[in-house]
A and B are shown apart, each in its own frame.
Chain A
Amino acid sequence: MSSAGTLHGDAAARDPHTPLPTLDRPDDYLHAQSTLRSWFLTTDHKRIALLYLASITAFFVIGAVAAGFVRLALVVPDGAIMTNDTYNKAFTIHGVVMVWFFLIPSIPATFGNFLIPLMIGAKDLAFPKLNLTSWYIFMTGALFTLVAVVLGGVDTGWTFYAPLSTAFSNTWVLPALIGVTIVGFSSILTGLNFVVTIHTMRAPGMTWFRLPIFVWTHYATSLIFLLATPVITLALILLIAERAFHVGVFDPAYGGDPVLFQHLFWFYSHPAVYIMVLPGMGVISEIVPAFAQKKLFGYRFVAYAAIGLASVTFFVWGHHMFVNGQSDLASLAFSALSFAVAVPSAVKVYNWTATIHKGSLRLDTPMLYAMGYIGLFVLGGLTGLYLATLAINQHIHATYFVVAHFHYIMVGGTVLAFLGGLHFWWPKITGRMYSEPWGRISALFIFIGFNVTFFPQFILGYLGMPRRYATYPPEFQLLNVLSSAGSTILAAGYLFPMVYLVYSLWFGRRASANPWDAKGLEWETASPPPPHNFAGVPQVPKVPYDYPIQAPETGSHHT
Chain B
Amino acid sequence: MKAQSALALWPPAASATAVETDHIILGFTVLTLLLTVPVFLAITYFALRYRQGEQADRSTDERRSFLIEISWMLIPYVLTLFFFGWGAKLFIASRHPPPDAMVVEAVGRQWMWKFQHPTGQSEINDLHLPVDQPVRIRITSQDVIHALYLPALRLQIAALPDRTTEIWFKADRTGTYRLYCSEYCGTDHSVMDGNLTLMTQAEYQEWLTHGGAQQSNLAAGRVIYESYGCAGCHDGAVVGVKAPSLVGLYGRPVHLADGRTLTADADYIRAKILNPNENRLAGDGEGEGGGQGGGKGSGKGGYKQVMPSFRGVIPADDLDRLVGYLKAYDRVAEGAPR
Contact = CB atoms under 8 A, between A and B. Distances in A.
Given A168-B144, A371-B47, A382-B36, A395 B95 contact: no
Contacts of B65: 297-298
B268 interface: no
Contacts of A470: 189-190
A147 interface: no
A57 B188 CA distance: 33
Given A339-B81, A359-B58, A478 B143 contact: no
Contacts of A164: 144-145, 184-186
Contacts of A531: none
Nearest to B57: A358
A84 B10 contact: no
Contacts of A155: 186-187
A472 B157 CA distance: 20
Contacts of B181: 466
B5 A551 contact: no
A350 B39 contact: yes
A252 interface: yes
B143 A163 contact: yes
Interface stretch (A48-56, A120-128, A330-338, A426-434): A330-338
Contacts of B157: 323, 325
A46 interface: no
Interface residues of B, number: 87
B43 A394 contact: no
Nearest to A254: B162
Interface stretch (A134-142, A340-348, A491-499): A340-348
B21 interface: yes
B189 A468 contact: yes
Give the one of B36, B83, B184 with max A CB within 10 A. Answer: B184
Contacts of B32: 382, 385
A475 B190 contact: no
Interface in B305-338: 338
Interface string A276-297: 0000000000000000110001
Nearest to B53: A555
Contacts of B43: 353, 356, 371, 374-375
Contacts of B55: 553
A549 B60 contact: yes
Contact of A163 (B151, B161, B188): B161
Interface stretch (B69-77, B274-282, B283-291): B69-77
Contacts of A332: 88, 92
Interface string B171-186: 0000000101111111
B39 A349 contact: yes
A478 B6 contact: yes
Contact of B50 (A161, A328, A343, A358): A358
Contact of A252 (B92, B149, B162, B190): B162
Nearest to B185: A164
Contact of A360 (B52, B73, B81): B52
B144 A463 contact: no
Contacts of A157: 184
B4 interface: yes
Contacts of B89: 391
Contacts of B47: 356, 361, 363, 371
A391 B156 CA distance: 10
A390 B65 CA distance: 35
Nearest to A91: B184
A339 B80 contact: yes
Contact of A375 (B21, B40, B151, B190): B40
Contacts of A84: 187-191
B165 to A, nearest CB: 5
B120 to A, nearest CB: 27
A31 interface: no
Contacts of B68: 354
Size bracket, chain A contacts = 35 or more
Given A163-B144, A382-B35, A346 B76 contact: yes
A463 B80 contact: no
Interface in A465-513: 466-475, 477-478
A391 B88 CA distance: 6
Nearest to B188: A84
Contact of A471 (B21, B39, B190): B190
A378 B36 contact: yes
A389 interface: yes
Contacts of A390: 87-88, 90-92
Nearest to B156: A323
A466 B149 contact: yes
Nearest to B181: A466
A192 B307 CA distance: 56
B72 A347 contact: yes
B129 to A, nearest CB: 18
A462 B10 CA distance: 7
Contacts of B60: 358, 549-550
Give the one of A353, A371, A391, A395 with max B CB within 10 A. Answer: A391
B210 interface: no
A475 B6 contact: yes
A96 to B, nearest CB: 14
Given A349-B39, A463-B4, A478-B7, A472 B187 contact: no
B24 to A, nearest CB: 6
A475 to B, nearest CB: 5
Contact of A328 (B4, B59, B95, B182): B95
A230 interface: no
B202 interface: no
Nearest to B183: A398
Interface in B109-163: 110, 143-145, 147, 149, 151-152, 154-158, 160-163
B9 interface: yes
A293 B21 CA distance: 46
A464 interface: yes
Contact of A357 (B10, B35, B50, B147): B50
B7 A550 contact: no
Contacts of A392: 21, 24-25, 28, 87
Given A389-B83, A463-B4, A169 B186 contact: yes
B163 A252 contact: yes
Contacts of A360: 50-53, 58
Nearest to B162: A252
B200 interface: no
A161 B184 CA distance: 9
30 contacts: A157-B184, A161-B184, A163-B143, A163-B144, A163-B161, A164-B144, A168-B143, A168-B144, A253-B162, A323-B147, A324-B158, A332-B88, A342-B77, A343-B76, A346-B72, A347-B72, A358-B50, A359-B46, A361-B52, A363-B51, A385-B32, A390-B87, A391-B21, A394-B155, A398-B184, A399-B149, A399-B182, A462-B25, A467-B182, A477-B6
Q: What are the 7 closest A-B residue pairs judged by CB atoms, nearest first?
A: A464-B151, A252-B162, A390-B91, A389-B87, A391-B90, A469-B190, A395-B154
Given A390-B90, A471-B338, 12 more contacts: A163-B145, A169-B186, A301-B69, A324-B160, A332-B88, A356-B43, A361-B51, A362-B51, A391-B88, A473-B193, A475-B8, A551-B58
Interface of B: 2-11, 20-21, 24-25, 28, 32, 35-36, 39-40, 42-43, 46-47, 50-53, 55-60, 65, 68-69, 72-73, 76-77, 80-81, 83-84, 86-92, 94-95, 110, 143-145, 147, 149, 151-152, 154-158, 160-163, 165, 178, 180-191, 193, 338
